[in-house]
Structure 1
Amino acid sequence: MSDRERITLVWLKRDLRLHDHAPLAEASRSCAEGGKAVAVYVRESDYWATDKASTEQWEFVAECLRDLSAGLERIGCPLLIAEAPSAEIVLEALLDQYEVVELLCHQETGNGWTFERDKRVLRLCRERHLPVREFLQNAVVRGRIRPPEKPEHQSFWRDWLASPQAPTPRIWRSPSTAPPLFTPPDLATSVNDTRQQGGERLALGLLESFLGERCLLHGGYRVEMGSPLHGHEACSRLSTHLTWGSLSTKRAAHAALAREPRPPYGSMMHRNSFHRRLRWRDHFLQKFESLPWMEFRCINPAAETLHGWHEEWYERWSSGMTGYPFIDACMRSLNTTKWLNFRARAMLVSFASYALNLDWRRFAPHLARTFLDYEPGIHYSQLQMQSGTTFGSIPRIY
């Protein structure tokens, strides 16, 4: 019989919020029944040193962590934030300190680095005979070697969306034994007015302002989402919050379809369009979950040698110095603000692939670390679609 304290362990990843958070809700339910729990986030220094990560992305995450930590403190939960090369190092130390009865986390559809880390964590848990429960954060089915066809995924999306959101945690009981001492990451952020700020409070405010006001600006979201002049106002600007989990997809989708309070006159067309794009987002996440190798290989093998490389052209493209005014304006805007609307992103990729004959795999890291909302499941599907390396689609030149 172990004399260590029994706890439920919640591992936070790209789910930095209190609302609709099934692992935190389940741990809170366990605490209400007399159990104890620990919530941990690990800043993985090996991940943040990759060529797909950036300081700006980390600062957004740090702002989300500060906001989440303040929210958890209100229910008596001290969020443990540690830094280590990879999460399993911290998780193993916690398994040594406590008798962990269950590990709770969200299923994540990440890139190759996070996939390998997840396998290491699951291997550790198997060796320790520790049950793991992964909750769905999106309408994504794991274990499919082929992505479901669109009608099948739409049906799964509807069923998933019909289920209620997880309740906000209200009760927390921490163990009396202090956790091991870990190196804490620096959560300080620089003053930066050119990129979006992180945090659940800001995410919910953006959602409310978009559905209530901004979706009607200019010609409205459905018309203006692709506009280089009005897209930054008419778009939801929620993609970064969805990526890092300060807003849940289900919360956003439920709000888009809500009829109470009464939606502003004329807004339902734009709300429905936004809802469809949330569904499409999960559709592409599902494709990447089923075909994770598309991060490294062309979906159409015949396109493997379609593109080449020219270092000087890449440098000019990535710095906004090609001499094509609109291309350069979009790239400079992206490099400064870390955001572009979809059509501008597609144009940059198709220009690099078709006009400059650059291989998408070699310029993908620049866009990954520059997009504040880098979402692997969207990133690689769209890179390949706009580069003409998929099956069944005619080349898209924006």
Structure 2
Amino acid sequence: MTTVVLFTRDLRVRDNPALAAACRDDYVVPLFVLDPRLLEASPNRTAFLVDSLASLRTELRDRGGDLVLRSGEPVAEALSLAASVGASRIVASADVSAYAGRREARLAAADVAFATYPGVTVVPPGELRPTGGDHYRVFTPYWRAWERASWRPVERAPARVQLPGGLAVGRLPARPTDVSPLLPRGGEDVGQRLLARVGPGDRDALAADETTRLSPYLHFGCVSPLAVATRLRGKADEVVRQLCWRDFFHQVTSAFPAIGTRDYRPGRRSWASGQEDAIEAWRQGRTGVPIVDAGMRQLLAEGWMHNRARMVVASFLTKQLNVDWRIGAAHFLRWLVDGDVANNSGNWQWVAGTGNDTRPNRVLNPLRQAYRFDPTGDYVRRYVPELAEVSGKGVQEPWKLEPPPPDYPPPRIDPVPSRG
């Protein structure tokens, strides 16, 4: 019996239930299909993907198998390969985006058996439901249910992967070169090393940079969210709570797949027009508000941004410049190595007031956020070289300096809103 494992956002051998199930059969064909449309969406994510595929191939070869690579439309390529090797079934990890839903529906309708397994989240979307509803719309009740939920056991990596003979496995694509200069390397091996170093820390302190940096590895499935949560529960509970937030937005997206294009709660906001100059200044980190500019320049430099900074820059764009959240979400998806539909769109809508926040008028005052989470200005100085020599409060409020710092713009708006 031969099974094709269609890898998607589960690029690992450890705690991969779909792969583990396939390895109980005689032969396993691990497959990844390079979809040209997705490869063009973000050079940063494509580069990380190539690293991750190389790591996965090494792990599979160490177990006697290999990673089969094809290019084209994933469903067509998976069905073609299954027919060529005489596979009796195709398996994959279940996912929640509209794109994933269409892929799974087409595979389920094909002439070969198809099954999905958990692995993209800690608790599968749809497993936790409120009384009288199809999904949780507010985080806190979901968090309480999530904490009480039973988690499946973590799967061991297979000892052996038996590939059918005579199969052309294909070559890895070239890694893009037009990427953020400080982009992290992808792969299960790198993700495991990062996970081993995670401990308690001040995740909100911008300059300290004590976040786990695991989000890209979670997005591509280089590490298992369940394995991370199991390892860190009781040791770094603030990280476990963030994994719950990730699950929360996945279950929202499962119920509302249009989350990337439509307001989850329509009618709450209207957006300004004619903001092209302000939007471009925001994209380039030239708004004149240091904490915002530091976050946006970190994004361009690293393909990643501190979570606290993400909230600040998103609030600034949507609540103070009054720009449609979709414009910000699209820019993030262009650059973020961890960008996915559920987390990116869910968080943008939460900040913008169109999503799951119970306080839709909430504004994160960038100046207060800077004084609270970057009180010495070290985060700003790290990413905004025009302010590297400015000390004291000047690094947070350079528009008050006489003379003002050269080459740094004045703020586009008053950075001290009436609430936030």
TM-score range with shorter-chain normalisation? 0.7 to 0.9
1:262 corresponds in structure 2 to: none
Offset at residue 160 of structure 1 (A):
4.3
Give 1:143-162 correspondences, 5 Å limit: 146-148=134-136, 151=141, 154-155=144-145, 158-161=148-151
**Does structure 2 retain, via aligned residues, the 8 Å contact 1:28–1:169?**
yes
Deviations 1:262-298 (A, max 9, x none): xxxxxx4xx1222222122211211121112222121
The size of the alignment, in residue pairs, is 355
Query: Quick one: distance in 2 between partners of 1:396 and 1:174?
Result: 54
1:228 corresponds in structure 2 to: 206
Structure 2 vs 1, CA of residues 36 and 132 (structure 1 numbering), >3 Å: closer, same or farther? same
Matched, 1:310 2:301: no
2:35 corresponds in structure 1 to: 44
Instruction: Please provide the CA RMSD for this pair.
Output: 2.4
**Does structure 1 retain, via aligned residues, the 8 Å contact 2:143–2:244?**
no
Q: 1:20 aligns with which of 15, 36, 39?
A: 15
Deviations 1:240-281 (A, max 9, x none): 1111100001111111137xxxxxxxxx4xx12222221222
Counterpart code for 2:362: R
Deviations 1:163-190 (A, max 9, x none): 21112111222223425x86x4414465
Q: 2:71 aligns with which of 57, 77, 83?
A: 83
Question: Secondary structure of the residue that 1:10 maps to in structure 2?
Answer: strand
Offset at residue 306 of structure 1 (A):
4.2
Q: 2:230 aligns with which of 243, 251, 254?
A: 254
Question: Secondary structure of the residue that 1:65 maps to in structure 2?
Answer: helix
2:414 corresponds in structure 1 to: none
Query: Quick one: distance in 2 between partners of 1:316 and 1:100?
Result: 53
Question: Secondary structure of the residue that 1:330 maps to in structure 2?
Answer: helix
Question: Secondary structure of the residue that 1:131 maps to in structure 2?
Answer: strand
**Does structure 1 retain, via aligned residues, the 8 Å contact 2:118–2:124?**
no
**Does structure 2 retain, via aligned residues, the 8 Å contact 1:298–1:304?**
no
Q: Could you state the TM-score of these two structures normalised by the residue count of structure 1?
A: 0.82
Counterpart code for 1:171: R
2:156 corresponds in structure 1 to: 167
Counterpart code for 2:233: L
Query: Quick one: distance in 2 between partners of 1:308 and 1:147?
Result: 34
Deviations 1:110-143 (A, max 9, x none): 3x44443x15xx3244231423233343113349
Q: 1:103 aligns with which of 90, 99, 106?
A: 90
Query: Quick one: distance in 2 between partners of 1:357 and 1:340?
Result: 22
**Does structure 2 retain, via aligned residues, the 8 Å contact 1:29–1:171?**
no
How many percent of aligned residue pairs carry the same amino acid?
Answer: 24
2:392 corresponds in structure 1 to: none
Deviations 1:76-121 (A, max 9, x none): 111102222x2112112213312221111101123x44443x15xx
1:272 corresponds in structure 2 to: 237
Query: Quick one: distance in 2 between partners of 1:68 and 1:160?
Result: 29
Structure 2: which 5+ runs fail to align?
Answer: 365-420
Query: Quick one: distance in 2 between partners of 1:195 and 1:131?
Result: 36
**Does structure 2 retain, via aligned residues, the 8 Å contact 1:28–1:170?**
no
Structure 1: which 5+ runs fail to align?
Answer: 1-5, 216-220, 259-267
Matched, 1:292 2:257: yes
**Does structure 1 retain, via aligned residues, the 8 Å contact 2:18–2:118?**
yes
Question: Secondary structure of the residue that 1:9 maps to in structure 2?
Answer: strand
Structure 2 vs 1, CA of residues 16 and 326 (structure 1 numbering), >3 Å: closer, same or farther? same
By relative contact order (CA 8 Å, sep 6+), the higher-ranking structure is 1
Q: Which has the higher helix share?
A: 1
Query: Quick one: distance in 2 between partners of 1:126 and 1:157?
Result: 36
